[in-house]
Each structure stands twice: as C-alpha cells, then as structure tokens.
Structure 1
Amino acid sequence: MSNSSLILTAVGSILLLLFLVMKTRLHAVVALILVSMIAGILSGMSPENIASTIQKGMGGTLGFVAVVVALGAMFGKIMEVTGALDRIAHTLLTQFGKKNAHWALTLTGFICALPLFFDVAVVLLIGVAFAVVRRSHDSLIKMGIALLAGIASCQAFLIPAPGPILVASQLHADFGYMILFGLLASIPAMILAGPLFGRFIATKVHVDLPNESDFNNQNIENETQANNTITIAREGEGSPSFLLALGLISLPLFLIALNTFGTRLIAPNSSLHSWLAFIGHPFTAILVACLMAFYFLGIKRGISGDRIMDICNSALQPAGIIILVTGAGGIFKQVLIDSGVGTALGDLLAGSGLPVVILAFVLSAAVRIIQGSATVAMLTACGLILPIITPLNLNGAQLAAITIAIGGGSVVLSHVNDSGFWLANRYLGLTEKQTLQTWTIMETIIGVTGGIMAILISAFL
C-alpha cells in the first residue's frame, strides 16, 4: 500500500475508535481490539499475522505495566486506607496556612498522586479541597483547579505514574532521567496551571460548593471507602507521621534514581553495578515500597495480616480494568508498527524538518484530541514515533525527553471525549462551558508547558 493509504487507514481507525467508544458506548478494551483488527486488515496485513500481532502487543505491554500497576495499586491503597495520604495533605495545609491554601492543595495533589491512578486521586483528595473552601470561604474554582493541576501534572510526567512509566519502558528511556526531566516539566506546569491560573480563572467563573447531602448520596461508595479508612487508621497505634508517609512515597523514586546515577560511577561489569540495576528497576523499587508500607503502616501499627490482604485485594479489582485497557492500547500501537503505518507517517513527518521531540508532542496531541484517553494517546504516539527514532540511536536521556513530550501532548485540549473532563465537571459542579473554561485550559497549560520543557531539555542533550 502507498504511504498515503496507510496514513488514511490510521486516521480512519482513530475516528472509528472514537465513534465506537463515544457513540455506541462499546467498552474501550473491546473497541481497541476490534479497531486494531480492522486497521490490520485495511493496511494489508496478512490475516494470520494479525492474531500474532495482537498477542505481541498485549504481551509486550503487559509484561511491564501489569507488574507496575498491580504493585502500585496495592501501595497506593495501603497509603490511602491507613491515613498516610491524609497526613500529607493535613500537614501541608497546616504549614501553608489558609492564605496559601491553594498552593498547599497543588502540592498535596502532586505528591499524593504519585502512587495513585488519576481518578482515584481525584476521588480521594477532592474532599480536602471542599473542606478548605468551607473553612476559608474562598473560591471553589481556585481551590479545585489548584488540586487538579497538581494531580494532572504528576500523572502526565512523573514515574511511577502508569502513563509515563509505560511509554518510558516502550521507548527504552532512562528511568532516572525520567524522574529528573519529569520534575523539570511538572513543577512549572503545575504552578502555572494550578495556583496561578486557578486564581485568575476564579475571577471569571464562580460555582457554589456542591450540596453535601446530594454529593454523598451520589458517592456512597466513596463515603464507604472514607469510613473504612478511618476505621483502619483507628485500629493502628496512632496516625502515621508526615515523615514516614513522605518517605514511603519517595522511596521508589530514590531507588530508581540511585540506579541511574550510581551506575554511571561504577564499572559496567561489576557486581555492584548489577545489584544497583536490580534494586533500581521499577519492579524492585515499587515492591520494596509495598513491603515497607505493609510493615510500617500495617503490621507495626497493629493491623492484622488478613486486613492487609483485604486491602490489597480491593486495590487489584479496579487495577485489572486499567491493565486491560492499557494492554489493548498496546495492541493498537503494535498494529500501527507492524502494518507499516508508523513508518509511513514517519517518512511523511521526517520531511517536515521538525525536531523529533516536537513531532512526538504533535502526534500525541492529535491522538488525544481525537479519541480522549491520555493513556491511549501516549501509546499510539509511541507506536507512531518508534519507526522515526529507531534509526537515530538516541541515548536514554534523549528518549526520556521524547517521553516527556509525549506526556505533554497527551493532556492538551481535554474535552467531552475525556473521562477527566466529566470527572472535573461532576465534582466541581460545573456546566460544560465552565469545564472548558477551567479544566480544559488547565490541562492545555500543563501539556504545552511540558512540551516546551521537553524541547528545551533536548536542546542541551
């Protein structure tokens, strides 16, 4: 097939995916697999090879992400139900004071979102924003956008958040540089999109605090979760300290960074080099954090092993859906690669003269706008950019910068086809127009800031 036909197939596949998910309400896993099959057939792939490509795409993606998401879900859940995340939020709010509460909320969302999925972080922390608004009589928009910006910035650029760590693994980016570059991108992004933009847009958009009785009636499951958190926290011997909670979240980041920068000072074939590579791998780093959380937040505080097991089981149920959707996105990515679509698009874009970092951002942003999901946008852009960067023999730091660019593109211009759009709409009590004025612009500021930082970082590599 010609390059133009392959590119049209890719565009048509993404539009079909959008139609199936939004209009027919087909589950994302089924829609992604079905569209992957159709794209393979239309691009001229042998029918017998399509099945093996599906297996390759699912297995290649889940071989990494299933372990990370499962361990991360258990770690995040134990941090949640034992009150460790609540301790971080309370301490930051106390230290910043009411006047700077919106800064505290941004930092709270940024730190607490590290071990959590985006929607889980919003559900758990939105009550903190409501409490601050009730106490300070300040704007809900100002506080809500500040919190959401912290969460969204973390989830777009920092590992071990699922999206960035998945793309980094697919591109073989260096995880240590991912932490460094992720911080360089996410910190200015969350400041601009959170406290600064939140304070500005609060003068233009006003909403009242949602009625608590209505809110609770619509969120019985979340209320039950909160009650369970209080019950389990009371079973332990006192509330976890701020330093313990912050230390547990920082532990996997420290181990990963130790591997990246420590191995550069040690002979490559030495035993110490091998051990650092093992200890600093995300599998080991998150597992160690899990075990430490089980002991210091659970066993040491008198919580039984059976209760800890129940907490882990409850964490794995929602994680299973996320794992499957991510795996299905990996299938679509693999079809784009094996069918030659990625190479065709790469040939087209290579002639544009744009740097590869900008191409990565543009591709991710285009897919994001069309189909909504940030994770699928990341994976699809990953599949499209791989044929372009493979011949370039880029190092781990350069690949990390490309990963940041993909993360930035994956969050721009969130609108009605994005679940995050409706999450903000529902919890802040916004109209669709108000959600576009607040949430959508906030996400775009985060994405564009991250893209600009990725370009600046790549210029020095």
Structure 2
Amino acid sequence: MSTFYLIGIAVAAIAVLLFLVMKLKMPAFIALLLVAVGTALATGVPMQEIMPLVVEGMGGTLGNVALLVGLGAMLGAIVEKSGGAEVLAERFTARLGKERVGPALLLASAVIAVPIFFDVAFIILVPIMFSFAKAAGHRSPIYVGVPIAGLMVFIHNLIPPHPGVTGSSTLLGADLGLVTIVGLLICLPIGVLTYYASKVITSRRDFPIAPAVQRNFDHAGAADIVVQDRESPGSLKAQVITKPGAVAVLTMILVPILMISVGTIGAIVLEEGTSTANAIAMIGQPAFALLVAVVLAMYVLGVRHGWGREELGGVMDSALAPAAIVVFVTGAGGVFARVLTESGIGDSVSESLISLGVPILLLAFLLATVFKVAQGSGTVATLASAGLLQSTVTDGSYSSIQVVLIVLAIGCGSVALSHINDSGFWIFSRFMGLSVADGLRTWTVLATVIGWTGFLIIAGVWLLVS
C-alpha cells in the first residue's frame, strides 16, 4: 500500500474516533475497539487475524496498566479517605501560602517523576492534587493536575533511567550521564513554561468534570466513613476516623517511590544475575512497590487510626470501580495503537522522511512524532526512531554533545501531539474527570507546546555547538 493511502487511513480513523466519542457520545471503550477493527480491515490485515490482534493489543496493555492503576487507586483511596491528603494540603498551605502551593507541588512532582514512571507517579499524586487544588481555592483539580501531568510526562520521555531515553541513548551511543545533565537543564525552562502555559490553557474556558470526580474533589480529604451499625441492623451511622499525621502520610507516598528508585539504581550499579541484584530488581518493580505501600497504608493510615476491617475493605473495593473505567479504556487504546503499528503507517512515513534528506536533528524529532501519533507509546516511538537512525548517527562524525541532542530531540518528538491512542491521555483525562474533547484541549495542547518548545531549545543548542 502507498504511504499516502496509509496516512489517509490513519487520519480518517482518528477523525471517526473523535466523531464517535465527542459527537455521538459513544463510550470510548466501544469506539476505540470499533475503529481499531475498521482500521485493520482498511489496511489489509487478514480478517482471521484481526480479533487475535485485538486480544494481543488489549492484553499487552492491561498486563501492566491494570496492576498499577488498581493498586494506585487503592493507595490513593486510603490516603484520601483517611484525611491524609487534606492534612498535607493544610500543612503546605499554612507554610507556603495559597499562591505557592501549586508551584511547590509541581516541583515535588518533577522530583518524583525522575525515577518513577509517569502513570505510577501520577496515580499516586491524584488525591494530593485534589486536596491541594481545594486548599488553594480552585474550582477544579485540573488547575493543579494539568501542569503536573505535562511536566511529568516530559521528564518521563527525556530523563534516564526511563526506558525510552535510556534505550535510545544505548542505540545511538550517547553518554547517559551527559543525557541526564542536559535533559535536566532543558527541563528547567520547560517547567516554567508548563506552569504558565497551563494557566493560559485552563483560564480560557470552564472545564466541567465528571460527576463522580466532582464528588471526590468536593469531599477531598474527608475522613468520615459510613458504616453499618451492628446494634441497629439496617441503620447507618457516621464513624469519625482520627486523621493521621503529615509525616505518616508522606511516608506512605514515598515508600513506593523510594523502592522503585532503589531498583533503578541497583540495576545500574549491581552485577546482573547476582542474588542481590535479583532481590533489588523485585523490590524496584512498580507493581510490587505499590503492593507493599498499600499493605503498609492499610495499617499505618487505617487500622492505627480506628478503621475496622470491613470499613477498610469497603474503601479499597470502592476505589476499583472508577479505576476499572481507566483500565478498560486504556486497554482499548492499546488495541488501537497495536493496529496502527501493524498496519505499517509509522514505517512508511519514516522511510519517506529519510529519503527526503531532512536534517538529522529535525528528522529525529519528526520521526518520533510520527511514531507517537501512529501508535501512542512514547517509549516505542523513541526506540523505533533511534533504531532507524542508528546507522546514520553511529557512522556520522557527530560530537558527543550532538549525539546527546539527537537523543533528546527524539524524546521531545515522543511527547508532542500525544492524543487518544496514548495511555497517558486516558489516565490523565479520566482521573481528572475530563471529557475527550477537554482532554485534547488540555493534555494534547500542552504536550505539543512543550514538545515543540523543547525541540526548539535543543535546536538552538545545536547551532551553538556545531
């Protein structure tokens, strides 16, 4: 099939998907599956292979996402319902003032995002964002959530030890230490831009949020739990739970972050295959770290402060209902991404760009952007782009700093134009309670702004060192 035809199919698929979700109000889960099947048929995937491809795309996405979202939602529910998020928000607000709460949380989230995958870190911070936004007097959590999501996903795609940038650095022979240093320096102006660009984006219109998320936001930090009165069957009474201290809450949030960080550092400094390295690798697995944090939080934030077993179980079980929506929609997004990848759209466009003789830095950025738009995963976009450029870069006479800039340009391309086939889009929009249209107006716009701006900064540095 011609490149022009494949691009036309991709554009049409995205347009139909947006029409189904935004205009016809079809559930995103169903719309994604229908469009994925239609795209597979249009691009010539054999009919008998379409549903196995759907299952493969769903399973590959859910295997990781379901664990992280489920455990993260449970941890968040305990932190929220125990009043822990409210305690932290009150402490920070009292120390910093309402005006500085947002920037302080943005800075803290940036530090957390360096060793932790975006989806894990964002889910952990959701109840904290709700309480901080409420303490700062905002009408919605998006005023705090938008800049945090934007900066965290930028860091995820540009700073080692995250898999995409680490893998592309290895493929292109870039110095990981130099990639980290230059990447962090670029993140400084991007962080400032993210904060002010988010203000512009969120001030242009009202962003209604889903009723369930609105209720969670309105009651952020509430520590009252309704339980069954055993003395009077059928009646209900409110049981006031003692709120935990700020240190205890902060510790529960930091436990998975520290465990994952230990695993990341251990993978770098320890010899692979040793018993110590294997133990550290298990400790650093995000799902295991969250599981440990949930179990600890059950006792530290729950049992120690008056929660009964039934109440604690009820709170944790109730957290899975909204999380299930995120999981299934994200899985369907994985199906759509898998179909787009198997159709060969990204490969066709990338081969065309290479044949046109586009300058290496711009080519690196555009290739990553094409792969990002076509299949959704920033990590896959980064590694695919680096693989296509490997021989060109390694055989070229580029300095070490130029190779680093090529790696970071690929990272910026894997951020720009993130949309509905990216799991990050669904995690952000669903946990913030946004519609698909408003997700595009916030997440996609901000990701594109910071992705292109990051590339322009890199291009400026390239001119200075060339």
Q: Normalising by structure 2, what TM-score?
A: 0.69
Distance in 1 between residues matched to 2:283 and 2:312, nearest whole Å: 24
**1:23 is aligned to 2:30:** no
Pairing of 1:398-437 with structure 2 (within 5 A): 405-407=413-415, 409-410=417-418
Distance in 2 between residues matched to 1:307 and 1:97, nearest whole Å: 34
Matched residue, 1:346:
350
Summarize the Cα distance change of 1:245–1:405 in structure 2 as closer, same or farther, 3 Å threshold: farther
Pairing of 1:450-461 with structure 2 (within 5 A): none
**Alpha-carbon contact 1:363-1:409 (below 8 Å) kept:** no
- CA drift at 1:35: 0.9
Task: For 1:156, give the aligned amino acid.
Answer: V
Distance in 1 between residues matched to 2:127 and 2:189, nearest whole Å: 24
Summarize the Cα distance change of 1:289–1:105 in structure 2 as closer, same or farther, 3 Å threshold: closer
- CA drift at 1:186: 6.2
- CA drift at 1:193: 3.1
Matched residue, 1:261:
265
Distance in 1 between residues matched to 2:251 and 2:409, nearest whole Å: 27
Gaps of 5+ in 2: 114-119, 170-175, 227-237, 394-403
Task: For 1:23, give the aligned amino acid.
Answer: K
Matched residue, 1:371:
none
Distance in 2 between residues matched to 1:322 and 1:422, nearest whole Å: 6
Task: For 2:91, give the aligned amino acid.
Answer: T
- Correspondence for 1:229 among 222, 233, 257: 222
Distance in 1 between residues matched to 2:194 and 2:56, nearest whole Å: 38
Matched residue, 2:78:
78
Pairing of 1:18-57 with structure 2 (within 5 A): 18-57=18-57
SS at match of 1:269: coil
SS at match of 1:116: helix
Matched residue, 2:153:
156
Distance in 2 between residues matched to 1:53 and 1:156, nearest whole Å: 28
- Correspondence for 2:134 among 127, 132, 139: 127
SS at match of 2:123: coil
- Correspondence for 2:340 among 329, 336, 341: 336
Pairing of 1:282-297 with structure 2 (within 5 A): 282-297=286-301
Matched residue, 1:191:
192
Distance in 2 between residues matched to 1:458 and 1:307, nearest whole Å: 58
- Correspondence for 1:322 among 320, 326, 344: 326
**Alpha-carbon contact 1:33-1:328 (below 8 Å) kept:** yes
SS at match of 1:25: coil
Distance in 1 between residues matched to 2:33 and 2:316, nearest whole Å: 29
Distance in 2 between residues matched to 1:9 and 1:272, nearest whole Å: 50
SS at match of 2:376: helix
Distance in 2 between residues matched to 1:458 and 1:85, nearest whole Å: 44
Summarize the Cα distance change of 1:11–1:117 in structure 2 as closer, same or farther, 3 Å threshold: farther
Gaps of 5+ in 1: 132-139, 368-376, 427-431
- CA drift at 1:87: 1.9
**Alpha-carbon contact 1:189-1:445 (below 8 Å) kept:** no
Q: Normalising by structure 1, what TM-score?
A: 0.70
Distance in 1 between residues matched to 2:225 and 2:183, nearest whole Å: 34
Distance in 1 between residues matched to 2:328 and 2:430, nearest whole Å: 22
Task: For 2:149, give the aligned amino acid.
Answer: A
SS at match of 2:300: helix
- CA drift at 1:290: 1.3
Percent of residue pairs bearing the same amino acid type: 27
Summarize the Cα distance change of 1:94–1:448 in structure 2 as closer, same or farther, 3 Å threshold: farther
Matched residue, 1:134:
none
Task: For 1:222, give the aligned amino acid.
Answer: R
Task: For 1:81, give the aligned amino acid.
Answer: K
Distance in 2 between residues matched to 1:27 and 1:306, nearest whole Å: 33
Distance in 2 between residues matched to 1:423 and 1:284, nearest whole Å: 22
**1:363 is aligned to 2:370:** yes
SS at match of 2:271: coil
